Amino acid sequence: MLESNFVDYVKIYARSGKGGRGSTHFRREKYIPFGGPDGGDGGNVILRGDRNHWTLLHLKYERHILAGHGEGGSGKLSRGKDGEDKIIPVPVGTVVFDGDTGAFISDIQYDGQEVVLLKGGRGGKGNNYFKSATNQAPKYAQPGEPYEERRIIIQLKLLADVGLVGFPNAGKSTLLATVSAAKPKIADYPFTTLEPSLGIVNVRDSHSFVMADIPGIIEGASEGKGLGLRFLRHIERNSLLLFVIPVDTIDISREYDVLLNELSRYNPELLGKRRLLAVSKSDLADEELEMEMKKHLPPDVPFVFISAVTHKGIIALKDLLWKELNNPAYHDADSIIRKPMDIKPEEVEDCFEYPLSGEDINEELEF
């Protein structure tokens, strides 16, 4: 995936700005104390949903995100300048986790949504603030509040309604290309699709939904075989999973079980989603064979025989998907999306290269 532009996972060190120190100042004229004013506030680090971004590519090489520090107050009641906020634009569908503990932090679900990830320190009060009837010239001022720092992991979990699940070569991308304007790569060998893609599916010119095509899954994917299971994060939000299994598969029920098993190893909660089955490439079977096969399909899952070549079953499939999407009895995806990440300690060390603290970075970057 090194060459790919589809970046759905980045790790970053983020730090807000510290508050500027309040100052202690006196006017030089006799008996006229003139209080020094407040320090400026430190900048916040803010995540903002941005529909112009589709992936996290723009953050791939940004390892440190630092907001500005507040400036100290100075004489003549001049308040220090606030530190600049640092805004991180992210695609809609971005989920943020704590890089050390894996705890869920936030989920960006719409364009323009803002989440303050780290708050800047408040500027300290200058001595003017502490002036009282009995003390007209206090000699003390507050320091600014410190910055906050955090390692974070930013993940993209695509927003789609229907996710395609199947072995490599099953015809998933062909189906997406048939029902939408998307142009995923299609070829007669396994693992043609190396990154997820989305398409908008129109239903009878009046409705539409979003379908996600992800790379194929094989038996043992949960142990890292093939492309592994990491792309399953892109079907976590889907309310419906469409399993795609070709008609010329020797044992469709077994293949279905293998897929279910891999999904459940990734996250058993995925099995709470509604499932449908598309038996693909049905142009390769005649009516008689199809009748026979129907007896051996997995029980309890609605199915449609489809063909991208003859377009058989395509309208029926779209209608069925639309109907099922509008079935209110859906599993709530939030608990899957917001599940804490499993963080392996070596992974954290790896990605941040060296233990960081805000002060080190200040020096390093000549702040």
Ligand X SMILES: Nc1nc2c(ncn2[C@@H]2O[C@H](COP(=O)(O)OP(=O)(O)OP(=O)(O)O)[C@@H](O)[C@H]2O)c(=O)[nH]1
Taking the least distance from each CB to ligand X, the nearer of 23 and 174 is: 174
Residues 299-328 contacting ligand X, CB under 6 A: 307-309
Nearest distance from C-beta of residue 60 to ligand X, angstroms: 24
Is the separation of the CB atoms in 276 and 320 below 8 Å? yes
Instruction: Name the residue with the smallest CB distance to ligand X.
Output: 216
Structure-token pair, residue 140: 């003390």
How many angstroms separate the CA atoms of 338 and 106, rounded? Answer: 8
Taking the least distance from each CB to Mg ion, the nearer of 192 and 253 is: 192
How many angstroms separate the CA atoms of 19 and 35, rounded? Answer: 19
Interface with ligand X (CB under 6 A), residue from 283, 297, 301, 338:
283
Interface with ligand X (CB under 6 A), residue from 233, 237, 273, 281:
281
Taking the least distance from each CB to ligand X, the nearer of 64 and 230 is: 230
Of 20-28, 169-177, 232-240, 350-358, which segment contacts ligand X by CB under 6 A? 169-177
Q: Map residue 96 onto helix, strand or coil.
A: strand
Partner interacting with residue 280 (select from Mg ion, ligand X, none; CB below 5-8 Å by kind): ligand X
Taking the least distance from each CB to ligand X, the nearer of 71 and 255 is: 255
Binding mask 172-211 for ligand X (x = CB under 6 A): xxx-----------xxx-xxxx------------------
Q: Report the residue count for the chain.
A: 367
Q: Map residue 89 onto helix, strand or coil.
A: strand
Of 26-34, 57-65, 144-152, 167-175, which segment contacts ligand X by CB under 6 A? 167-175
How many angstroms separate the CA atoms of 295 and 281, rounded? Answer: 18
170 is a contact residue toward ligand X (CB under 6 A): yes
1 is a contact residue toward ligand X (CB under 6 A): no
Nearest distance from C-beta of residue 175 to ligand X, angstroms: 7
List phi, psi (to 5°) of 106: -165, 160
Partner interacting with residue 15 (select from ligand X, Mg ion, none; CB below 5-8 Å by kind): none
Please identify which residue in the block is written with the tokens 């998933």: 172
- Point out which residues pair with 280 in neighbouring strands: 246
284 is a contact residue toward ligand X (CB under 6 A): yes
Nearest distance from C-beta of residue 229 to ligand X, angstroms: 14
Give the dihedral of Cα atoms 233, 266, 192, 190; nearest 10 deg: -170
128 is a contact residue toward ligand X (CB under 6 A): no
237 is a contact residue toward ligand X (CB under 6 A): no
Binding mask 19-58 for ligand X (x = CB under 6 A): ----------------------------------------
User: What residues make contact with Mg ion under the rule CB under 5 A?
Assistant: 173, 192-193
Is the separation of the CB atoms in 153 and 10 below 8 Å? yes
234 is a contact residue toward ligand X (CB under 6 A): no
How many angstroms separate the CA atoms of 80 and 20, rounded? Answer: 7
Taking the least distance from each CB to ligand X, the nearer of 214 and 260 is: 214
| DSSP label at residue 108 | E
Partner interacting with residue 138 (select from ligand X, Mg ion, none; CB below 5-8 Å by kind): none
Taking the least distance from each CB to Mg ion, the nearer of 188 and 287 is: 188
Give the dihedral of Cα atoms 333, 334, 336, 342; nearest 10 deg: 160
How many angstroms separate the CA atoms of 57 and 2, rounded? Answer: 11
Structure-token pair, residue 125: 């009060």
Parallel, antiparallel, or unpaired for β 104-108 and 149-156? Answer: unpaired
97-to-30, 60, 115, 175, 310 alpha-carbon distances in Å: 57, 16, 13, 34, 46
Which H or E run includes 320? helix 314-325
Binding site for ligand X (CB under 6 A): 166, 168-174, 186-188, 190-193, 215-216, 280-281, 283-284, 307-309
